[in-house]
Amino acid sequence: MPRHHQVVVRPRIATHSTVLPLLFGCLLVSCSRPEAADDDGLWQRERQAMVDVLRQGGIEDPRVLAAMGKVRRHVYIPPSFRKHGAAYGDHPWPIGHDQTISQPFIVAYMTQKLGPVAGGKVLEIGTGSGYQAAVLAELGARVYTIEIIPQLAEHARRALAAEGYADAVHVLAGDGYKGWPAHAPFDAIIVTCAPEEIPQALVDQLKEGGRMILPLGSTRESQRLVILKKVGGKAQQTEDLPVRFVPMVKGKGR
């Protein structure tokens, strides 16, 4: 399920009907983590500056902003890019296997649109670096995240454990189209790559009244970010931003 996570436009800065933002993608759990020696004052100030940029760009939920201000993005970035003045910039970074760590804005935007997750179970399709999962965990969710590339899944598992999220985030190397039925139903689902149709398995694993956010459409046609709510066993969906994600592809087995 290869994907790139990027965004180049924010809702309050440009009109999406004229400038297509490129989005390539794609509870009460204690998430206290040890403060590492490298989390010095400069990293903290850079995180706060990132949060200020997110707020100016239209991220308003104080819970999301607080979580973004706590998760140490620089530890999810490869050492070659883990530099002051760069790690908390509003852009993606490569993490290997033709993948990227998501741009902070799209992480915050999709998290805000997903709605409250504290006390609930959230399924994430596309673990990547583990950064999005860490943000959800900081918001109080129990996170079940699936990554199709085994090496990335293992790297994310280690990074999340080192940051104190081992009890809150569970990582599976597998096919996101199948979801994670052993832990269903989920209160919310977030998908970071684009299927052409909403996977029925994910709808089936969403709790009644639950919410899902995902990019929808083929790479040959326009895509939209879709917000879905399950009502009466059916998916009621609302279209949001125009987006461009790489396709969600099926894997082999688990």
pLDDT tens digits, one per residue of 3-57: 444 443 343 322 222 223 333 333 223 343 444 445 679 999 999 999 999 999 9
| Per-residue confidence (pLDDT) for residue 179, from 0 to 100 | 98
Q: Is 32 a catalytic residue?
A: no
Q: pLDDT of 120-143, one tens digit each?
A: 999 999 999 999 999 999 999 999
Residue 246 has pLDDT above 50, yes or no: yes
Residue of 174, 180, 111 lying closest to 148 (CA atoms): 174
Does some domain include residue 36?
no
- Percentage of residues in the chain having pLDDT higher than 90: 65
Q: pLDDT of 44-102, one tens digit each?
A: 999 999 999 999 999 999 999 999 999 999 999 999 888 898 999 998 888 988 788 88
Q: 3-state class of 67 per DSSP?
A: helix
Counted domains in the chain: 1
Residue 159 has pLDDT above 50, yes or no: yes
The residue type of 121 is K
Does some domain include residue 173?
yes
Does some domain include residue 144?
yes
Query: Can you give the residue range of the structural domain that contains 134?
Result: 41-243
Between CA 209 and CA 201 the distance in angstroms is: 16
Q: 3-state class of 173 per DSSP?
A: strand
| Per-residue confidence (pLDDT) for residue 170, from 0 to 100 | 99
Does some domain include residue 21?
no
Cβ–Cβ under 8 Å, residues 10 and 241: no
Does some domain include residue 252?
no
The residue type of 65 is L
The residue type of 134 is A
The residues near 13 (Cβ < 8 Å, ≥ 6 apart) are: 57
Residue 144 has pLDDT above 70, yes or no: yes
Does some domain include residue 89?
yes
Cα dihedral 205, 209, 214, 218 in deg (nearest 10): 80
- What the block records as the tokens of 108 is 């915050």
Does some domain include residue 170?
yes
User: What mean pLDDT is reported for the chain?
Assistant: 85
Q: Which of 60-64, 111-115, 193-197 has the lowest mean pLDDT?
A: 193-197
- What the block records as the tokens of 116 is 């409250």
Does some domain include residue 222?
yes
Which residue in 32, 80, 102, 218 is the catalytic one?
102
| Per-residue confidence (pLDDT) for residue 39, from 0 to 100 | 62
213: domain CATH number is 3.40.50.150
Residue 196 has pLDDT above 80, yes or no: yes
